Structure 1
Amino acid sequence: MQIIVLPWVPELTETTGPSVMVVDGAYRLRSDQPVTVYQYNPLAASVTNDASVLLPVNTWSGNYLVASWQFWSTFNYP
């Protein structure tokens, strides 16, 4: 297993809405071998332990089911 720690993008934590778009705020991973990729956000301006499984483009179907809590706008992030 290899863990790749990516640079923190502070603009992504300084939002007041449920989503934000930041220029150069995304990463692209390419591999010629099968990989399992996930994103885990346990630190730095997080009030939750968020995690995501990142799916390869060839698995995208356009139909997704998301389990999520309602967005809370009362938090004041540092």
Structure 2
Amino acid sequence: MTTPTGKPGAAGWLALAAAPSFAAMAGITAASPALCLSDPGPLPLDGMTMMYLLMALFHLPPWLRLLPGQGPTRKGDRP
């Protein structure tokens, strides 16, 4: 995820962009169900909204690695 200089490469930036993108898509889908071409249910958390929220959840690990005390993990640096 980082280059030899320690700066994030293209894959690192893409990994960080995934979770906010899916969270925004979940918000848009919940706010206007007409965009999904499905009948609105009684709750705004329909199938597409839940799918986007789960995708955002599964793409959170790159953000969690940025927390203080969490350094980048490289091969061979296991405790």
Band the TM-score falls in, shorter-chain normalisation:
under 0.3
Query: Relative to total residues, which structure has the larger helix share, 1 or 2?
Result: 2
Max Rg structure = 2
TM norm structure 2: 0.26
Higher relative contact order (CA 8 A, sep 6+): 2
TM value normalised by structure 1: 0.26
Bigger proportion of residues as strand: 1
